[in-house]
Amino acid sequence: MHILVCIKQVPDSAQIRINPVTQTIMRQGVPTIINPYDLFSLEEALRLRDSFGGEVTVLTMGPPMAADSLRKTLAIGADRAVLLTDRSFAGSDTLATSYALAQAIRKIGELFGKPDLVFAGKQTIDGDTAQVGPGVAKRLDLLQLTYVAKIVECDPDKREIIVERRSEGGVHVLKTKLPCLITMMEGSNVVRRGAMNDALRAARAEIGTWSAKDAGIEDIAKCGLKGSPTVVKKVFAPPPRSERAILVEPGDTASQAAESLIDTLFKRQPALEQDLIKSAAEF
């Protein structure tokens, strides 16, 4: 099997700061990490490779320093890494990003064999749009399984895969044909640390670095700011709440404590009581 994993290098959200004057993200001095959701996808790809054989190729689009994240994926166990980097990609939104990644995946398919599976994280922690994975699937005409919590079964011979997909109403068990694109949920597995041999191999490995031309991207107008119909107008930190938490004194018994809490909630949120009464009447 040839499995491809899309990752993204993102700022560490725990250390992001907002400029109080410009109201924009201050990226200077903020360390970068591999998008956490993408690591769950990488682990799932490595498990399938370990079970059925084949190769795992990791792809990312970003500045030259994104090669550091790709090298980390090689240390975890990936077989090959490709960095898609070009000045023409600067300012890409999800539409332009999915276009560039899809073109690069087509090129990887020509060079190393078409992927049987394409993995991505459910979303990134910097944009939180969850649009790039489905966008790539649409451009490559792939079946897509999003918000996957578990891969139940995979049969490369029958070209079928069964997964559990998390939804608001519970869990869907879905079966589809290969090739397809899967976006993984958090906590779906435990990401391995990687063997010493992989770490040594990653240290001396050559990261494939492709420009737009190398990836076979002919229409540059679909990349970067020119190919991005969405524009971020403003980034700001939410204002602190003016209301403070209140202390509800408990009663002598558990039931009295509950009644005291409920009475306080209804006084502060009178509409809540009416909504609950209406919902109870419907049942």
Cα–Cα distance measured from residue 142 to residue 121, given in angstroms and rounded to the nearest whole number = 16
The answer to whether the CB of 97 falls within 8 A of the CB of 212 is no
More confident residue, 179 or 278: 179
Whole-angstrom CA distances from 95 to 8, 11, 141 are: 15, 21, 15
State the CATH architecture for 2-222. Answer: 3-Layer(aba) Sandwich (3.40)
More confident residue, 170 or 2: 2
23 has pLDDT over 60: no
What is the mean predicted confidence (pLDDT) over 235-253? 70
118 has pLDDT over 70: yes
Place 283 in a pLDDT band, splitting at 50, 70 and 90. Answer: low
Across the chain, mean pLDDT equals 87
Taken in order 242, 243, 245, 247, is the CA torsion positive or negative? Answer: positive
Residue 156 is predicted with a pLDDT of 93
Residue 180 is predicted with a pLDDT of 95
More confident residue, 24 or 258: 258
What is the mean predicted confidence (pLDDT) over 136-153? 94
Give the position of tokens 């499995």.
Answer: 3
Residue 253 is predicted with a pLDDT of 65
130 has pLDDT over 60: yes
Residue 231 is predicted with a pLDDT of 74
What is the mean predicted confidence (pLDDT) over 249-264? 70
Strands lying side by side in the sheet with 170-177 = 170-177, 160-167, 143-155, 180-184, 117-121, 2-6, 55-61, 80-84, 208-210
Q: How many helices (H) and strands (E) would you count in the chain?
A: 7, 13
Domain boundaries, the chain: 2-222, 240-283
Place 140 in a pLDDT band, splitting at 50, 70 and 90. Answer: very high
pTM (predicted TM-score): 0.79
Digit-coded pLDDT (tens) for 78-110: 999 999 999 998 888 899 999 999 999 999 999
116 has pLDDT over 90: yes
